[in-house]
Structures are given as C-alpha cells and as structure tokens.
C-alpha cells in the first residue's frame, strides 16, 4: 500500500520541464540520414555513437546501423559521419578504401570547420575553445591543420594573428573568459567567431532559470555527452541541487520525496520519450507498477 504522507507530498510536487527538449535539429538530421543510408546501402556504420543513449543505439543496431571505431571496419557498407563531424582525413580514407561516406555533420558544426579552414588559409593561428578530446573539437582541429590549438589559459602563440572559434556546445562565459585572457596577451590581431549553437544556449539558459527556482534540477542525458555535462555544470555552479541521470530508473526516490519544485532539463541527444519518462517518474516516484525500475 502507498504511504499516505509520500502520496500527499508527491501530489504537491511541481515539475517543470525545460524547453527546448528532445533531439536537436542536428541529431535528428543525423539519425534520418543514417536511416536513409541504411535503406539504400544495407549495412551502415557510424564513426562513434550517433547519439548518447543506449536504448536508441540498440534500436539503430537492430535496424543495421552500428557504431565502429575505425574507418577500416566499414568495408562492405557505408560510413555515416555523425553530427559532431570528423577531420578531413576520414573522407580521404573512405575514398582510398572505396567506402561510401554519408556526411551527417551538423551544418552548425560544418560552419565552424569552414571558419577554421579559412582562418588557417589567411595565416591565423586557430584557437578552439572547447574540450580537447571531444570529437567535434578534433574535427575542427582537423580543418585547422598545423595552425590549430585547443584553448588553454597558459597558451602563448607565436603567430601575431589569432582567430578564435568555439565548440558548438561550449558556454558563453567560457568563451568570454578565453577571449579576455587572449586579449591581455596583446596579439596584433584577434578575431573572434561566436560559433556556439543557439539551441545549446537556449538549453543552458533554461537550466540556469530552473536552478534559480527549483529545489532540485534533474539533468537528463548521456554521461559522455558534452552538452549535457555543461547543463549539469551550469546548475551546479548556480548552487542548486542537481542529479544527472541517463534513465528514470537512476532517479533517487528518497531525495525526490523531499523536493517540492523539481526541474527537468535534457541534453540535445536525449530522446523526448526519455525526458517524458523522467518527468513522469519525478511526478510519481512512488507509483508501484513501473516497468523502468
């Protein structure tokens, strides 16, 4: 039998789900292109995971779309470049091996790649503000050639001309801080391109708003997803209580039971149904017939 006190408390709980939610345009497009590719070529591979969600990956694998680590593993099929993009060497290798390449690089990431390539051709050192080992940053560095560097506060560049671009999922405070530091070094020329994705910014703003008014903010998305981790960081930095989950089954019932106002915000590669599942659990953590726990 349900505990009456817990029931009363959960009924009073207010749950606010941040907008936008569900897959962003770039992830949705990459999935669509992979499915179209599968229908046309039969076997389709992706270089790395297409989305940071195990259930969606399982579903795609059942459809014949499998994640691999190296281009050589794609022989006999087509290779999908995911939304993060890939360095130009990947396309070269596909040509060498006769592998069909389907480019699902998000157009916003493609824009950063082309800015980086242009800066390099104009003699600028290219500074990428982002995470050193993230696939998107590696792809941007690939288009920057030997002119590319990932920003670090201690960096000193020989080039008098410096061009700055941002990983699409970084935050504006991070970009501003990097630019302020580079400005102090007095390069002859410093050009800055704000290449942060608007969708990412909208989710970051929503996370900050929820952090200001909620007792607890649930951040939903893959632990290896850069934009989801940034949302978690924003909520934490705002001093709010935060829990980061990939699925509803990871939610802490007891902690939820103590909260009246709970916010839910999701990364751009989190499917809408996972967000609904989490919001539903938050509303009714004591529901007895759950299939997800």
Reading the block at residue 23, the tokens are 């897959």
Active-site residue flag, 131: no
**Structure-token match 């410096």, residue found:** 162
Which CB sits closer to ligand SF4, 174 or 290?
A: 174
Least distance from ligand SF4 to the Cβ atom of residue 153, Å: 25
Token pair recorded at residue 233? 């960081």
Nearer to ligand SF4 (CB atom), residue 77 or residue 87: 87
Can you tell me which of 6, 9, 20, 25 binds ligand SF4, judged by CB under 6 A? Answer: 25
Output the smallest distance, CB 271 to ligand SF4, in A. 13
By CB under 6 A, tell whether 26 contacts ligand SF4: yes
Find the part of the chain contacting ligand SF4 (CB under 6 A) among 22-30, 124-132, 231-239, 241-249.
Answer: 22-30
Alpha helices by DSSP H, 46-101: 54-62, 88-97
Asked if 266 interacts with ligand SF4 (CB under 6 A), we say no
57 close to 51: Cβ distance less than 8 angstroms: yes
Question: What is the closest distance, in whole angstroms, from the C-beta atom of residue 293 to ligand SF4 in the complex?
Answer: 30
**How far, in Å, CA of 97 to CA of 67, rounded?**
18
* 155 HSE (CA, 13 A, CB side): 22
Give the footprint of ligand SF4 on residues 73-102 (CB under 6 A): 83
If one asks whether residue 49 binds ligand SF4 (CB under 6 A), the answer comes out as no
Q: How far apart are CA 196 and CA 172, in angstroms?
A: 8
Ramachandran category for residue 48: left, alpha or beta (phi over 0 → left; psi -120 to 50 → alpha): left
List, as one string, the DSSP characters of 200-245: HHHHHHHHHHHHHH-SEEEEES-TT-HHHHHHHHHHHHTT--EEEE
Q: Which is nearer to ligand SF4, 27 or 165 (CB)?
A: 27
Catalytic, out of 49, 136, 199, 277: 136
Find the binder of ligand SF4 among 13, 56, 93, 108 (CB under 6 A). 108
Residue numbers at the binding site for ligand SF4 (CB under 6 A): 24-27, 83, 106, 108-109, 168, 197, 199-200, 227, 268
Catalytically annotated residues: 136
């Amino acid at each position: 039998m349900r505990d009456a006190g817990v029931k009363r408390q959960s009924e009073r709980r207010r749950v606010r789900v941040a907008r936008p939610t569900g897959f962003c345009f770039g992830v949705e497009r990459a999935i669509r292109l992979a499915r179209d590719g599968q229908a046309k070529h039969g076997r389709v591979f992706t270089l790395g995971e297409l989305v940071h969600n195990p259930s969606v990956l399982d579903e795609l694998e059942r459809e014949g779309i499998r994640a691999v680590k190296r281009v050589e593993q794609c022989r006999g099929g087509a290779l999908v470049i995911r939304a993060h993009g890939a360095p130009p060497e990947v396309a070269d290798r596909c040509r060498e091996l006769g592998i069909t390449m389907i480019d699902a690089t998000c157009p916003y990431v493609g824009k950063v790649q082309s800015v980086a390539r242009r800066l390099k051709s104009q003699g600028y050192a290219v500074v990428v503000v982002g995470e050193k080992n993230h696939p998107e940053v590696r792809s941007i560095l690939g288009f920057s050639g030997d002119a590319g560097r990932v920003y670090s506060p201690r960096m000193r560049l020989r080039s008098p001309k410096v061009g700055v671009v941002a990983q699409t999922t970084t935050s504006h405070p991070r970009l501003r801080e990097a630019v302020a530091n580079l400005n102090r070094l007095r390069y002859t020329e410093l050009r800055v391109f704000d290449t942060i994705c608007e969708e990412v910014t909208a989710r970051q703003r929503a996370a900050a708003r929820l952090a200001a008014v909620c007792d607890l903010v649930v951040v939903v998305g893959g632990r290896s997803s850069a934009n989801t981790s940034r949302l978690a960081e924003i909520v934490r930095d705002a001093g709010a209580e935060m829990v980061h989950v990939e699925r509803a089954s990871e939610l802490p019932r007891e902690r939820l039971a103590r909260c009246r106002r709970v916010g839910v915000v999701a990364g751009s590669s989190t499917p809408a149904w996972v967000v609904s599942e989490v919001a539903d659990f938050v509303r009714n953590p004591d529901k007895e017939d759950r299939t997800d726990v």
